[in-house]
Chains A and B, each alone.
Chain A
């Protein structure tokens, strides 16, 4: 104590030093370069998105100007006509339909899986289950496509037959003729997509479930709640936001899925509103792949325009999704 007093006394006796400039910025040259490099790298994200938009737009322009607005809602693609007709209405609707089917199948599966992992399994088994789900996420889509074509499609076609037989009176399960078989339908493509988005929804739901306040759950149980009512009244309301975000992320993935759908879906340019068992459907991304092989120069421009539409669609959905997810996971912020 005495030493401190002595020090303060001596510093008072000296003249007051000039006020040092306070700065939160980097002081040394090395630091300046350090932050400059990293900020250039970070701003590359802007550059990338801008580049994607600009270059896609440049190459899509010929098709967009020649086709006009019907490009997005028309239902014909004919490279024999002069001038060429390129319209992707059925593909956009097909993508949305398949995405919706995928999300409807995937959500209960994913939420159940997350509930099982967080609340029911002992921690060691939970880790194994988590790893398996992550492995499912790591499967390349071409492998899912291969499996979907040779293994899954026949099984799913049987499911579709059953659905049509017993629930055929519901309009969406009707088909024009059962002789066409039940392969290549949006139903099967929807299942394939569901398998690919289950891990996305599961991982987000699992994280939210595991961050829930344990006291809240135990309190609900102590007040006499059953597991079911605790889930319905406590767990579900507090995590619904993040689950919705996860579903949107999954939808974005579903719209962009290319190769897997390409193998299991019968792509036609007849719009299929909701006859999900009909072997007739569309998907923007898969259509691009299927047409690309023998595309003329005009068609390539049309395909790039389709890619631009797809990009804007998925970017919008992902943007909204990541805002929702970030808002629902406040512990992620700095």
Chain B
């Protein structure tokens, strides 16, 4: 996958011991020098990273590049150093999110945290009491209802985009992509204005409705890609044998695209499970457990995090971290499942994939 070997003056002499040592030195020395400077002068770490390490590393790589390839080696060296620096930066940020989430959230973790609700819990109650049980139930109910409605809709949309010969396909695809950029707070306001216009009470149902426009584009797009991976020849063969389109779909295409469609559902759920703003606008929160989606108050995990995050009290903040960790675990489970599904699929259907892309 990587580049062809760069053309050197003497390609056969490209990798020799001297150059290896140079490369090794260039990748170790700047870091060592930076650490030394931080220890000796007590320079601010952030300052040292940008003001000392990056220039040193660029110079070191440029020297190696110049030795190897002359002037053109300098540009190459700069490209490689910057690419690795920026990419590492992103990964460090991601690692920071995950590490802080786990380390802070772990304080709140206990069996009781998963199973109890927050009735009789105040801002300063210690973490042994209360938990996110009611929020987990609420999230499952609200997200579950959205999923039940959105999945058939999204998959039907994907069928339309792949199986029919209609002329409006392009418009609908573009429109779906545009909806996928719908700000979540606008989705909440949309349902809120329906509720005000028709004089409905706020409830979990409204929250489910507000999540629908956010989930739909994800399901439709991923399902469309999954259906497109099924070779067209299979469908044509079924049709040529006299099967009507719907039987060709249900008996030939659907089994072939099954894991892709499940991925679509899981990614859709992962997309909305952490959505906060629409739920804040449309669902009244409670501290007790509620199974009633259609009236009254109901708590959800994102709303729980949001509610306790703003608090000035440490136990409440820890609750927020704990709930965020639970949320993250749910997202990670959904996400991990899709990875496993897509891996097994790509192993099985590699040759057909190539054909479909032609």
Contacts and interface: CB of A to CB of B under 8 A. Distances in A.
Contacts of B193: 55-56, 58-60, 304
Contacts of A158: 44, 46
A108 B78 CA distance: 14
A30 B157 contact: no
Nearest to B104: A150
Interface string B41-52: 000101100100
B213 A52 contact: yes
Contact of A228 (B72, B100, B181, B306): B72
Contacts of B3: 119-120, 217, 221, 227, 230
B165 to A, nearest CB: 6
B276 A141 contact: yes
Given A39-B166, A143-B327, A253 B96 contact: no
B20 interface: no
Interface string A288-318: 1100100000001001100100110011011
Contact of A150 (B50, B75, B94, B100): B100
A309 to B, nearest CB: 10
Contacts of A218: 4
A140 B273 contact: yes
Contacts of A255: 183
Interface string A94-137: 00000000000000111011011011111100100101111110
Interface of B: 1-4, 6-7, 44, 46-47, 50, 69, 72-73, 75-76, 78-80, 82-87, 89-91, 93-94, 96-97, 100-101, 104, 152-153, 156-157, 159-166, 168-169, 172-186, 189-190, 192-194, 196-197, 213, 216, 228, 244-247, 249, 270-271, 273-277, 280-281, 302, 305-306, 309, 317, 320-321, 324, 327-328, 331-332, 335, 339, 357
A323 B178 CA distance: 10
A132 B93 CA distance: 11
Interface in A50-76: 51-52, 55-56, 58-60
A143 B181 contact: no
B185 A256 contact: yes
Count chain B CB atoms within 10 A of each CB in A45, A119, A123, A152 and give the residue with the most.
A45
Contacts of B317: 150
A31 B185 contact: no
A252 B1 CA distance: 33
A304 B192 contact: yes
B171 to A, nearest CB: 8
Given A56-B190, A135-B94, A311 B182 contact: yes
Nearest to A259: B276
Interface string A137-175: 011111111110111100100110010000000000000
Nearest to A43: B172
A82 to B, nearest CB: 23
Nearest to A144: B97
A151 B96 contact: yes
A258 B302 CA distance: 13
A111 B74 CA distance: 20
Given A228-B76, A285-B277, A55 B197 contact: yes
Given A136-B94, A142-B306, A289-B277, A38 B181 contact: no
Contacts of B82: 108, 112
Given A56-B193, A151-B96, A292-B280, A258 B163 contact: no
Interface string A25-54: 011101101110111111111101101100
A187 B203 CA distance: 37
A310 B90 contact: no
B272 to A, nearest CB: 9
A138 B270 contact: yes
Given A30-B244, A35-B160, 6 more contacts: A136-B90, A143-B327, A145-B309, A226-B76, A289-B281, A326-B174
Given A24-B165, A132-B91, A120 B309 contact: no
